Structure 1
Amino acid sequence: MTGVGVGVDIGGTFTDLCVLDATGVVAVGKVLTTHDEPARAVAEGLAETFAKAGLDLGDVDQLVHGTTLVTNALIERKGSRTALLATAGFRDVLEMRREHRYELYDLGIELPEPLVPRYLRFDVPERILADGTVHTGLDEEYVARLGRELDARGVEAVAVCFLHAFTNPEHERRAGAILTRVAPRLRVALSSEVVPEIREFERTSTTVANVYVQDLAERYLADLERRLHGLGVRPSPHIMLSHGGIATVATAAKYPIRILESGPAGGALAASAFGTNAGQKDLLAFDMGGTTAKLCLVADGAPLVTHEFEVDRKYRLLPGSGLPVKVPVTDMIEIGVGGGSIARINRLGLLTVGPDSAGSEPGPACYGRGGTEPTVTDADLLLGYLDPAYFLGGGMVLDVAAAREAVRMRIAEPLGVSVEDAAWGIHTSVNEDMANAARVHAVERGKDPAKLPMYTFGGAGPVHGAGVARALGAPTVVAPPAAGVLSALGFLTAPLAFDFVRSARAAVLDLSWDEVDALFAEMEAEGTALLQGSAGVTHRRIAEMRYAGQGYEVRVPVRGGSWPETLVSDFTDVYRSLYRRTGPAVAVEVLNWRVVSSTPAPEVSLRPKEISAGDALKGSRPAYFPTEGGFVDTAVFDRYRLPPGARLEGPAIVEERESTVVVPPGARCEVRADASLAVIV
């Protein structure tokens, strides 16, 4: 990096910024998210952070941005008025879904409403068979008439999802061309371009979701560019993708569904980078912000990636209750507990926390912005873990009295306990919820969480990290420098990258390598074209394989060597690592072929600026630890004055501007060479 790099992450409560130059982290910032105009918080945060650090926005040579805009638009149903064109007889696939109940014996299950109502879903006369041959030709006149009518009736976007278009996209392309000709105002998305792979419901759901948010994403990205250039930032921003790569604004605007989980991906990248530097390539990355908590596994120095994801889960966050999207995303478990999550007593008289959040408007009661509900931040403040005068480095003074009143009225009095016990109940409830979710997530992926260090970040992550680790059995908690804005920092470690897929089902032993190689070459050419102008584009080949008769696949790297025996052997190794056994003596088949095209990851220093000289001990304050009998006088340290090699004994609190690390009694904390705090619990 020759100039200045900036990472910007818009969350549900705060917008985080991190500034790097060749020497490392030179400035960080955190401002409240402006939900009415998200780009406004970005511009205000940049101007404020650069002014405080004495930096010039004209020196920025790269800005990478991640946002929750797409996720929020899908959950809140704030996208375009969208229609669906499907093969005759298949317009109801969005409501038929997978034709099974995700909870077989629960009569109260809920499903999200389809993004396209039934009166805007249309049967188009056409049919292509599974092998790509045309059974019924496309009725082009029908498509033209329908396009004119949709335009006249105020429809803004159209998703075209024909049967078997991933094998033969001819009819979709022709329908798209007709719609563009007769109704150029309409935004048109073709499933063969957005997600050209097998599984009808998921393909349709993903294509609809992409075009549903496309106008919103384009307008937001244009506003962001305008504001950045107005500040004097010369380069156009890059946008973080959900799987850990970055893309240009043009690519993100065409495929906005690819930025669905862009923020959490940045944190996982940064955690993996710090872990690799410390010789820990296998770890848990735990991110707790203002609205949600996320945890993902990092294996061999890279976050795990999945191609199955659900948005807007309606029923107890259960799989199957949301809108599925088939795009590459960082594989993580996400639960609705964050600093702003609201605590309440449920109908059974039990304490529950989340998934609803006070967000930034009005925010927790202690923010003094009109919030009256008790939240996790209110509880942490009452327990003494947060300094009311040093929140955001003193940029926001917290109201202790308001937090106490909210917890007393809504939690303590109904349960008949003290305010401190109620606050501790909120704190530990959150820790247990996250530990339980993390345990299931890790075990399902063949990992033992008790053997992995946990890297914690986000504004609330370091406060809860040790508690979650103890509940989980993890041996060590690591809080990297700039932990409160680590996702923004992680953006600057990401390469330009994009993922391509083709469905071509076949038994492995029946494959022709020449045909497979041609398929890979086609996708690699697309990747090279998309990343044109970038140096050192490389391609990683992947096969999605299964035993014949199975319903789901595992991803297997495709390497050189003898063919196809090598592919079968590699599949067996991957399968055994996941399930601790091999499958039955049946044929092995490939369903999808993938290529990940990317540029080299940038070489950046993740160290903070030089540690300030002076005594790191700021003083002490009472903090609540039940194992010690309640409140005990606890030493408070300034993280910016702790040199590498420093050691602390719990109980202790380490403060930085954007987050606070709690070291509980019985634990010890060591400052690593990269300025990370390692808490041995």
Structure 2
Amino acid sequence: MADSRALRVGVDIGGTFTDLAVLDDSGIVAVGKALTTHHEPAAAVEAVLRQAIADHRLDPADIATVVHGTTLVTNALIERRGARTALLTTEGFRDVVEMGREHRYELYDLGLELPRPLVPRHLRFGVRERVRADGAVVTSLDAAAVKQLGVELAAAGVEAVAVCFLHSHTNGEHERQAREILEAAAPELRVALSSEVNPEIREYERSSTTLANVYVQQLVEDYLADLRARLGGLGVRTDPLIMLSNGGVAAIEVARRFPIRMLESGPAGGALGAVAFGRTARRPDQLAFDMGGTTAKLCMIEQDRPLITHTFEVDRVYRLRAGSGLPVRAPVIDMIEIGTGGGSIARVDPLGLITVGPDSAGSEPGPVSYGRGGTRCTVTDADVVLGYLDPARFLGGDMPLDAAAAASAIREQVADRLGVSVPEAAWGIHTTANENMANAARVHAIERGQDPGRLPLFVSGGNGPLHGPGVARALGSPSMVAPPAAGVLSALGFLSAPMSIDIVRSRHALLGEIGLDEARALFAEMESEGAEVLTASGVAAADVVHERTLEMRFVGQGSEIEVPVPPVGDGWRDEVLASFRRQYAQRFGTVAPAGVEPELLTWRVTARGPEPAARLGFESTSDGRDALIGHRDAYFSPDGYAPTPVYDRYRLRPGAVLTGPALVEEREATLLVPPGARCTVEADSSIFVEFAVGGSR
């Protein structure tokens, strides 16, 4: 056994692989990957951790922290595997969740399919009660009707109830009364209140969020209990912390109460890893690019912070079309998702063009080269044919790939249809995937007031280092950064995340009319609530810090922007106005109009604990002279196949310089250094790639 030490474990369940990273004070101790077990997600977590413990002779009793992120909530909503749920709302408003915003996300599609609510109409009930927008009670709650509904719903097999009354974000008393009545009449019902889950304006989004939260709550509780038991069975003595979508971690009780905040917990880790490495290397602004087996995700990093959004869509009818899914209001790292991953299926469309994705072979059955029954060629199959992946060393040799089967599938499904050779078809698949991702990245950056051509691309995910150079060159990015253990960077990124919780209130007021005492009291109330959650999770009260933002707009506008604001004091309104105007100019590229008064809608406080000290790199045990481990034929257009140097990532020492073409291999990922590029191993073990101006792609 190893000497006693504090180990920190990060685990990320993705669509294709479950990733593991283990750190101690010196850096990375172990990494691992296992195919995700969709029917029983915690089983893959147990398997990959058990393997790491055995391979590296770790003592489970030394594990001080386990941070876990998962796509469980997203998958449950997409697959409709939640509880049988009912909705209680104000009389006359039962169809809000079906009417939505009455927005056609595709104007010319005559067969337009709208997102299907989680609760069918026969399980949506209007209750007599009414509260005005200012919180004044107009009509008292019909307690007898709520009691009767509780009895009938339980008898009908309903398991969960979302209570979403009109204007309850201003006054939630009727919702609290309804919960007391339901719990007394039918104790077996699980009840969620919109005034607790999402106390914000806009009935449709608030109702949709509350329904989603209670719909998956039992499923998440069962999963977390299974995860706890499996970790305990391995000898781990600590409860896992759960990664939230906002880039912070929380105790397991917070995740059980608000599972909707786990919605995008897995992808958050890649952005956090980019922040951690960027801070070490003094790169505050980056474009973080994470390409896994199923999708790719991109995120803007500004001043060492990932951008945050508060609206997310899940279960889209059209996967990449905004407006076609169910809205969820929760703090989420602002990412764009692209239906391109290693498992994305390639085909020739009716116009004779290669298309990639958005459908994926996933992990079951996976790409053809996995040899698990997949029959449709994918991006990974193309990368094998091009020589970028070593069939014998994939995942350290634990999962050999079938290059001949991949070539045969590409020949039948793409090459023969286009009248080109198999390598040319594979190159077309590879570059099409890169261009798809670059186009999405360009739009994402420009919409947020950034020029992608000036930003370094930070790559992660099992396929990020392989496709990142092509994406960076298509964007015109000057450079690219490939961190160590890029294939499991989400799991590593979890270990750099602080404890965090977001508190929100909606309070409408004109900036010029809001009283300073009122503003001070509202922020103080929210900060107290956030501090209480964190201290209950083990954070010392003195270590809690608060960040305040306001969602603001000009009077007459229909949407808001989020504005950072200082603590309330003398001159506060002027400081808020100046901050609003700066954010407005950056977002829209124009000076904010004069003579129009701004108004405040939503108040936010993020409470954070201290950031953990985590060294995410590793130290080479080699002098660097044995890093070159051979050559492999790799394809680069227009020259074709050429013997290409292959380096062992673990034997490269800081300061080492390589020129392309080259392949740099580690267990979970392969870095492709294109012809004409130059790369340097940095002090934190990351590889900094610079592209020659006008060089080959």
TM-score of the pair, normalised by structure 2: 0.96
Structure 1 residue aligned with 2:656, among 646, 656, 661? 646
Describe how 1:405-484 pairs up with structure 2 within 5 A: 405-484=408-487
Instruction: Judge which range, 21-30 or 413-422, deviates more.
Output: 413-422
C-alpha deviation, 1:539, in angstroms? 1.4
1:450-492 CA-partner distances (Å, limit 9, x unpaired): 0000000100111001000011111111100110100000000
Code of the residue aligned with 2:584 in structure 1: it is Y
Give % identity.
Answer: 64
1:155-192 CA-partner distances (Å, limit 9, x unpaired): 11111111000000011111111111111111111100
Q: For residues 344 and 88 of structure 1, what CA distance do their matches in structure 2 show?
A: 51
Q: For residues 355 and 111 of structure 2, what CA distance do their matches in structure 1 show?
A: 20
**Residue of structure 2 in register with 1:677 after alignment:** 687
Asked if the contact 2:103/2:323 (under 8 Å) is kept, the reply is no
Asked if the contact 1:379/1:424 (under 8 Å) is kept, the reply is yes
Q: For residues 419 and 572 of structure 2, what CA distance do their matches in structure 1 show?
A: 70
Describe how 1:533-612 pairs up with structure 2 within 5 A: 533-535=538-540, 536-560=543-567, 561-584=570-593, 585-612=595-622
For the residue of structure 1 that corresponds to 2:587, the secondary structure is helix
Given the alignment of the two structures, is residue 624 of structure 1 paired with residue 624 of structure 2, yes or no?
Answer: no
For the residue of structure 2 that corresponds to 1:308, the secondary structure is strand
For the residue of structure 2 that corresponds to 1:510, the secondary structure is coil
Q: For residues 466 and 248 of structure 2, what CA distance do their matches in structure 1 show?
A: 29
Structure 2 residue aligned with 1:158, among 161, 174, 180? 161
Q: For residues 308 and 269 of structure 1, what CA distance do their matches in structure 2 show?
A: 20
Q: For residues 612 and 312 of structure 1, what CA distance do their matches in structure 2 show?
A: 48
C-alpha deviation, 1:582, in angstroms? 2.5
C-alpha deviation, 1:551, in angstroms? 1.2
**Residue of structure 2 in register with 1:250 after alignment:** 253
C-alpha deviation, 1:112, in angstroms? 2.1
Shift of the 470–566 alpha-carbon distance from structure 1 to 2, 3 Å rule, reads same
Q: For residues 318 and 70 of structure 2, what CA distance do their matches in structure 1 show?
A: 25
C-alpha deviation, 1:422, in angstroms? 1.4
1:41-80 CA-partner distances (Å, limit 9, x unpaired): 1011001012111211110000000000001111111111
Asked if the contact 1:508/1:589 (under 8 Å) is kept, the reply is yes
C-alpha deviation, 1:316, in angstroms? 5.5
**Residue of structure 2 in register with 1:656 after alignment:** 666
Q: For residues 319 and 169 of structure 2, what CA distance do their matches in structure 1 show?
A: 34
1:327-385 CA-partner distances (Å, limit 9, x unpaired): 00000100111111111233444322111111111111111111111111111000000
C-alpha deviation, 1:282, in angstroms? 0.2
1:623-680 CA-partner distances (Å, limit 9, x unpaired): 11013x2111111010111111111111100000000000111111111111111111
Q: For residues 148 and 429 of structure 2, what CA distance do their matches in structure 1 show?
A: 58
1:255-304 CA-partner distances (Å, limit 9, x unpaired): 11100111111110111110111111000000000111000000000111
**Residue of structure 2 in register with 1:286 after alignment:** 289
Asked if the contact 1:111/1:315 (under 8 Å) is kept, the reply is no
Given the alignment of the two structures, is residue 28 of structure 1 paired with residue 28 of structure 2, yes or no?
Answer: no
Instruction: Judge which range, 419-428 or 586-595, deviates more.
Output: 419-428
1:103-134 CA-partner distances (Å, limit 9, x unpaired): 33333433221111111111111111111111
C-alpha deviation, 1:213, in angstroms? 0.7
Describe how 1:53-64 pairs up with structure 2 within 5 A: 53-64=56-67
For the residue of structure 1 that corresponds to 2:214, the secondary structure is helix
Q: For residues 306 and 449 of structure 1, what CA distance do their matches in structure 2 show?
A: 20
For the residue of structure 2 that corresponds to 1:606, the secondary structure is coil
Given the alignment of the two structures, is residue 667 of structure 1 paired with residue 672 of structure 2, yes or no?
Answer: no
Q: For residues 142 and 418 of structure 1, what CA distance do their matches in structure 2 show?
A: 71
Q: For residues 406 and 121 of structure 1, what CA distance do their matches in structure 2 show?
A: 49
For the residue of structure 2 that corresponds to 1:291, the secondary structure is coil
Asked if the contact 2:5/2:62 (under 8 Å) is kept, the reply is no
Q: For residues 52 and 109 of structure 1, what CA distance do their matches in structure 2 show?
A: 53
TM-score of the pair, normalised by structure 1: 0.98
Q: For residues 461 and 37 of structure 2, what CA distance do their matches in structure 1 show?
A: 19
Q: For residues 94 and 320 of structure 1, what CA distance do their matches in structure 2 show?
A: 14
**Residue of structure 1 in register with 2:68 after alignment:** 65
**Residue of structure 2 in register with 1:350 after alignment:** 353
Code of the residue aligned with 1:652 in structure 2: it is A
Asked if the contact 1:26/1:609 (under 8 Å) is kept, the reply is no
Q: For residues 573 and 611 of structure 1, what CA distance do their matches in structure 2 show?
A: 49
Q: For residues 131 and 432 of structure 2, what CA distance do their matches in structure 1 show?
A: 53
Asked if the contact 2:620/2:653 (under 8 Å) is kept, the reply is no
Instruction: Judge which range, 460-469 or 662-671, deviates more.
Output: 662-671
Q: For residues 37 and 347 of structure 1, what CA distance do their matches in structure 2 show?
A: 39
Instruction: Judge which range, 602-611 or 352-361, deviates more.
Output: 602-611
Q: For residues 387 and 72 of structure 1, what CA distance do their matches in structure 2 show?
A: 32
Which structure 1 segments of 5+ residues have no match? none
Q: For residues 312 and 468 of structure 2, what CA distance do their matches in structure 1 show?
A: 26
Q: For residues 336 and 530 of structure 1, what CA distance do their matches in structure 2 show?
A: 36
Asked if the contact 1:412/1:418 (under 8 Å) is kept, the reply is yes
Given the alignment of the two structures, is residue 167 of structure 1 paired with residue 170 of structure 2, yes or no?
Answer: yes
Given the alignment of the two structures, is residue 12 of structure 1 paired with residue 46 of structure 2, yes or no?
Answer: no
For the residue of structure 1 that corresponds to 2:547, the secondary structure is strand
Q: For residues 195 and 214 of structure 1, what CA distance do their matches in structure 2 show?
A: 15
Shift of the 14–316 alpha-carbon distance from structure 1 to 2, 3 Å rule, reads closer
Q: For residues 97 and 487 of structure 1, what CA distance do their matches in structure 2 show?
A: 34
Describe how 1:272-283 pairs up with structure 2 within 5 A: 272-283=275-286
Code of the residue aligned with 2:427 in structure 1: it is W
Q: For residues 580 and 398 of structure 2, what CA distance do their matches in structure 1 show?
A: 54
Hey, which bits of structure 1, 4+ residues long, moved more than 6 A? none
Q: For residues 108 and 618 of structure 1, what CA distance do their matches in structure 2 show?
A: 57
C-alpha deviation, 1:2, in angstroms? 6.2
For the residue of structure 2 that corresponds to 1:325, the secondary structure is strand
Code of the residue aligned with 1:113 in structure 2: it is R
For the residue of structure 1 that corresponds to 2:572, the secondary structure is coil
**Residue of structure 2 in register with 1:384 after alignment:** 387
Q: For residues 190 and 416 of structure 1, what CA distance do their matches in structure 2 show?
A: 60
Describe how 1:139-158 pairs up with structure 2 within 5 A: 139-158=142-161
Q: For residues 120 and 408 of structure 1, what CA distance do their matches in structure 2 show?
A: 52
C-alpha deviation, 1:424, in angstroms? 1.1
